[in-house]
Amino acid sequence: MKQNDRKPEEALLLNGVPYAEDVAAPGAAEDRRGRSKWLAAAFVLGIAMLVPGRAHAGIFDVFKEIFGTIQNDIGSSLSQINQVVQQVQKLYQSTVAPIAALNQARGFVANSASSFRGQMNQIFNTQFTSAVTPGPQQFESILHSRLSAQIPALQASFMANYGAIPQVNAASPQDRVMMDVDDALGQENLKTTLIADQGGDAILQTASQMENQVAVSTPGSNPFLTAQAQVANLRCQAFMQKMLAAELRQEAGRIAHDNVLVKRRTAATGGINSLITGALTAR
């Protein structure tokens, strides 16, 4: 039997009914493919229409839950915290730091500062000028300037008023040395007074600022004000120590100067004794 004469093999369906592929109608396959495409398109379109609505509904539900949590749970907690804070503030204002007592203390500080600050400033700024001639008047004005920048002018005015050291042949070497030492000590201490006066003004400004801060201070600021006062006290002590050191140097120079005079008198007395002894021995 030729190959072309073979009958097509029968295909069996799931229910056992014989089915031949070539028996089907020519357009059946194309109709099935068209229906499949339409069903797929309808399915996709349905999903596209349903998913956004559900997604938006889910997002709104999430925000609703978040807002509900904030308003109910967190909101109630914040309300309780606020009540506690108000109670603590009321306790401070009524018992720990009464507003009436604070205002009374602030008023006392303000009244004290206004009563005594003017008098103290008048005392500190009082001019004690007493020089008459032009040279000493200039020197005195420099001394009362309370500015360390006036130190070069002070040195020039000192030399103009107290005079320069004599030349080599105009005085003995010992006298020239003592003049130089005394002038150096005098100028050093006068320069120190200018620096100390300027430092004193800075301390007074700090004291005024602290008084102003105390007049408007709040409870709990006492440690900070105390620390600031301690720093200002240390600065004042440093200026006082500097002035005491200058005074000690001046006193030590004076003692040394007096001792030099004693030495010179002793040497002069010894020379006179030698002359007298020589004169008596020559006879």
> Measuring CA to CA, which residue among 199, 201, 239, 206 is closest to residue 225?
206
Enumerate residues 6+ apart whose C-beta is below 8 A from 12: 18, 19
pLDDT at 7: 46
Give phi and psi for 37, each to the nearest 5: -65, -45
Q: What are phi and psi of 5, to 5 degrees?
A: -85, 0
Select from 253, 140, 143 the least CA-distant residue to 190.
143
Residue 280 has a pLDDT of 74
Q: What is the mean pLDDT of residues 92-121?
A: 78
Please compute the mean of the pLDDT values over residues 253-270 and round it to a whole number. Answer: 88
pLDDT at residue number 180: 93
pTM score > 0.75 for this model?
A: no
- For 242-250, the CB contacts below 8 A with 24+ separation are 242/192, 242/195, 242/196, 243/192, 243/193, 243/196, 246/188, 246/189, 246/192, 246/193, 247/189, 249/185, 249/188, 249/189, 250/185, 250/186, 250/189
Contact 190, 143 (CB under 8 A): yes
What is residue 248's predicted lDDT score, i.e. its pLDDT?
92
Which of these ranges, 5-14, 98-107, 196-205, has the smallest mean pLDDT? Answer: 5-14
At residue 139, the pLDDT reads: 93
- With a cut of 60, say whether residue 3 has pLDDT above it: no
Question: Residue 12 in 3-state DSSP?
Answer: strand
Among the listed residues 160, 159, 142, the one whose alpha carbon sits nearest the alpha carbon of residue 150: 142
- At residue 54, the pLDDT reads 47
- Residue whose pair of structure tokens reads 């008098």 in the numeric block: 119
Contact 8, 23 (CB under 8 A): no
Name the DSSP letter for residue 219. Answer: T
Would you place residue 191 in the very low, low, confident or very high pLDDT band (cuts 50, 70, 90)? very high
Q: What are phi and psi of 11, to 5 degrees?
A: -105, 140
Q: What is the pLDDT of residue 19?
A: 46
Confidence of residue 58 (pLDDT cuts 50, 70, 90): low
* Span of 6-15, 57-66, 264-273 with lowest mean pLDDT: 6-15
Mean pLDDT across the chain, nearest whole number?
Answer: 77
Q: Which two tokens stand for residue 58?
A: 């889910």
* % of the chain with per-residue pLDDT over 90: 17
